[in-house]
Amino acid sequence: MRSHGKSTGQVVTRAAIASLALITALSACKTESAVTDVAAVGELRPARSVVFDGAVDFALALPNERVLYANGEDLVLVDGMDRRVVSSTSLLGDLITWTVIDDVALLAGRNGTFALRGSDFFRSELASAIDGMNVTSLVSVPRRGARDDLYIAHQGGLALLRDGRLQDISLEGVTLSAPVIGSAPFFSGRSLWVSVPAAMTTDEMSEESPAGALYELAFDDDDALTASKLAIDFAPSQMAADASGVLWLLDEESGEVVAIELSRTPTRYRFPFMVDSLQASSAGPDSWFGGEGRLFHHAAGVFNEVEGVDRIRAVGADGTILSGSGSLERRAARHPATWNGPSTGSVLVRTTSYEIVLTQMSAVESITANIDGEEIDVTSDRSVSVDPATLESGAHALEAVIRYTDGTLPTTARVVFEIGVRANWNDDVNQVYLDHCSDCHHATGGGRRLDRAEDWINDFDQILINVKEARMPLGRDALDSKTIALIEAWGAADFPADAAAAGGSTESAEE
């Protein structure tokens, strides 16, 4: 489907210039003192699948494992088994930069700014603000309960689009011109990092950072944009951040890489080759470093050398990469695996089975599972059994680790569940009745009587159906999952009348 006139619903107005004073000088000032030589622990052979058997001009790894690539005259969207042309490449022109904002892919090309929502490709309403800026980079930063922020680096400086208001950002003592920008995890969300060469800084810290500086921009508790500075001994030419909180910076002159973690302490890494490209997964632990025909992968503090990949074109949020020159391939460091059973956050009150679902059935070396680190048995059909009677009340983590013999990394599947409390009628279920049911279901009311334990026991299955399907309480908010689980736990324990009959102390439904 080709569509070039659809609205994004975003109305842009121009706001006053925001001038930011430096409020914090981050403690770490130099990076040359801590240099770590990188040695590969092993070899990684990513799982391979072909996306397109032919050369492409560019490829983007979109959310939900979708791929957009340019193939000669066409822009092609791949969504599972569906492949469709969404536009001509001549409409966009050469791609300059792109990002995802509010689940919409935003592409800035030589011919303007366009958006891809679903399979609809159209000129974005943000084009009126972005076109003509000579954009060099776009970075979106998610916000809780609000539209994403969009930072725009351009030849003239840096701008922020927030809630439909576009404002230029200036830093005191700094000349911003086509800055290198990137987003990374922050203690209260995500922040923006801005790399500025020292030649463009005139503040008091410039002598401590002869090559450049990094500025971290973040909104404080009062929703005011603030800036902090980290003095460094080089001007990063590329930056990328993974979901574990590591910001990776490329020192192009030395071919080395500097990592900045949440503690804001930098560590310099020297690879066995000159690194000229780095990319990272925004929703996973994976980072990739390439140069001189070699490629290294990093996750959880471990480096591996990657076999069979000559060029990375894009990294998806899930850590998969798009690579290849004569063809477009999807490569994955791990084979995905999931749990089939109650979802994360479910409350278990009786023995429950979980099944490990694998996307790759062959080359499995071993499967292990544990609850809170304690190993449990896995059956031949890849199932485990969780018995609430053997666990304390509260949250627990069920984890499976699958190892393969094909050179991919071990896969971890994880789900968190809660164990329901021991419940009795006097302390718990009767309180549920008083809080949620007594208006209609009392002894002389018009509804079915539920003020006695035997009333619940005689109609227990139907009561559970009614509350799970939110039929009851009538005209009121549905019961939450913990309250429903408490009712189930009472039935699973054979309807004890009090704490002594339940086998110990209990917690109330309110808790």
**What span, in angstroms and rounded, lies between the C-alpha atoms of 244 and 282?**
9
Q: Is residue 509 part of a domain?
A: no
Please give the order of strands across the beta sheet that includes 95-101: 95-101, 104-109, 112-117, 120-123
Q: Is residue 109 part of a domain?
A: yes
How confident is the model at residue 205, as a pLDDT?
Answer: 43
Q: Is residue 215 part of a domain?
A: yes
Asked if 311 and 297 touch (Cβ cutoff 8 Å), the reply is no
More confident residue, 444 or 83: 83
Average pLDDT over residues 40-67: 93
Instruction: Please check the confidence at residue 210 and state whether its pLDDT lies above 70.
Output: no
Helix 460-468 and helix 481-492: axis angle, to 10°? 160
How confident is the model at residue 338, as a pLDDT?
Answer: 96
How many structural domains does the chain have?
3
How confident is the model at residue 381, as a pLDDT?
Answer: 94
How confident is the model at residue 334, as a pLDDT?
Answer: 94
**What span, in angstroms and rounded, lies between the C-alpha atoms of 200 and 177?**
8
How confident is the model at residue 311, as a pLDDT?
Answer: 77
More confident residue, 116 or 166: 116
**What span, in angstroms and rounded, lies between the C-alpha atoms of 407 and 365?**
11
In residues, how long is the chain? 511
Q: What is the pTM of this model?
A: 0.78
Q: Where are the beta strands (DSSP E) in 90-224?
A: 95-101, 104-109, 112-117, 120-123, 135-143, 146-154, 157-162, 165-171, 180-186, 189-197, 212-219
Q: How far is CA 176 from CA 4, 217, 219, 404, in A?
A: 34, 14, 20, 49
Asked if 412 and 400 touch (Cβ cutoff 8 Å), the reply is yes
* Phi-psi group of 469: left, alpha or beta (phi > 0 → left; psi -120 to 50 → alpha; rest → beta): alpha
CB-based contacts of 385-390 (< 8 A; 24+ apart in sequence)? 385/351, 385/352, 385/353, 386/348, 386/351, 386/352, 386/353, 386/354, 386/417, 387/351, 388/348, 388/349, 388/350, 388/351, 388/352, 388/419, 388/420, 389/351
163 and 261 assigned to the same domain: yes
Instruction: Please check the confidence at residue 6 and state whether its pLDDT lies above 60.
Output: no
Average pLDDT over residues 443-454: 80
349 and 445 assigned to the same domain: no
**Rounded percentage of the chain residues whose pLDDT exceeds 90:** 43
Residue with tokens 């994880």: 414
How confident is the model at residue 212, as a pLDDT?
Answer: 65
Instruction: Please check the confidence at residue 501 and state whether its pLDDT lies above 80.
Output: no
Average pLDDT over residues 421-436: 84
> Please, what is the Cα angle at 298 between 332 and 308, to 5 degrees?
45
356 and 480 assigned to the same domain: no
**For residue 154, which amino acid is it?**
H
Average pLDDT over residues 62-81: 93
Asked if 396 and 418 touch (Cβ cutoff 8 Å), the reply is yes
Instruction: Please check the confidence at residue 356 and state whether its pLDDT lies above 80.
Output: yes
Q: Who contacts 474 (Cβ-Cβ below 8 Å, separation ≥6)? A: 440
Instruction: Please check the confidence at residue 106 and state whether its pLDDT lies above 60.
Output: yes
276 and 408 assigned to the same domain: no
pLDDT category of residue 399 using cuts at 50, 70 and 90: very high
Rg (CA), the chain: 28
**What span, in angstroms and rounded, lies between the C-alpha atoms of 273 and 295?**
9
Q: Where are the beta strands (DSSP E) in 163-274?
A: 165-171, 180-186, 189-197, 212-219, 225-232, 238-241, 247-251, 256-260, 266-270
pLDDT tens-place string over residues 406-427: 999 999 999 999 886 678 888 8
Q: Which of 43-47, 131-135, 222-226 has the highest mean pLDDT?
A: 43-47
How confident is the model at residue 445, as a pLDDT?
Answer: 67
Instruction: Please check the confidence at residue 66 and state whether its pLDDT lies above 50.
Output: yes
Domain span at 411: 337-419
Lowest mean per-residue pLDDT among 230-239, 345-354, 454-463: 230-239
Mean pLDDT of the chain: 84
**What span, in angstroms and rounded, lies between the C-alpha atoms of 175 and 163?**
26
CATH number of the domain to which 400 belongs: 2.60.40.10
Average pLDDT over residues 234-243: 88
Q: Which of 419, 440, 475 finishes a domain? A: 419
Q: Which of 419, 441, 465 finishes a domain? A: 419
Q: Which of 304, 332, 360 finishes a domain? A: 332
How confident is the model at residue 145, as a pLDDT?
Answer: 81
- Kindly tell me the number of DSSP H helices and DSSP E strands found in the chain: 7, 41
More confident residue, 230 or 273: 273
Q: Is residue 507 part of a domain?
A: no
Average pLDDT over residues 354-358: 97
29 and 64 assigned to the same domain: yes
How confident is the model at residue 408, as a pLDDT?
Answer: 95
319 and 226 assigned to the same domain: yes
Q: Which of 323, 261, 329, 262 is nearest to 288 (CA)?
A: 323
Average pLDDT over residues 478-493: 83
DSSP secondary structure code for residue 174 in this structure: B
Average pLDDT over residues 115-143: 90
The DSSP bridge partners found for residue 108 are 97, 113
Instruction: Please check the confidence at residue 13 and state whether its pLDDT lies above 60.
Output: no
- β-pairing verdict for 321-323 and 312-315: antiparallel
pLDDT tens-place string over residues 279-324: 999 888 999 999 999 999 999 899 999 998 877 999 988 889 999 8
355 and 320 assigned to the same domain: no
More confident residue, 315 or 179: 315
How confident is the model at residue 324, as a pLDDT?
Answer: 87
Element (H, E) at 304: strand 302-306
How confident is the model at residue 118, as a pLDDT?
Answer: 93
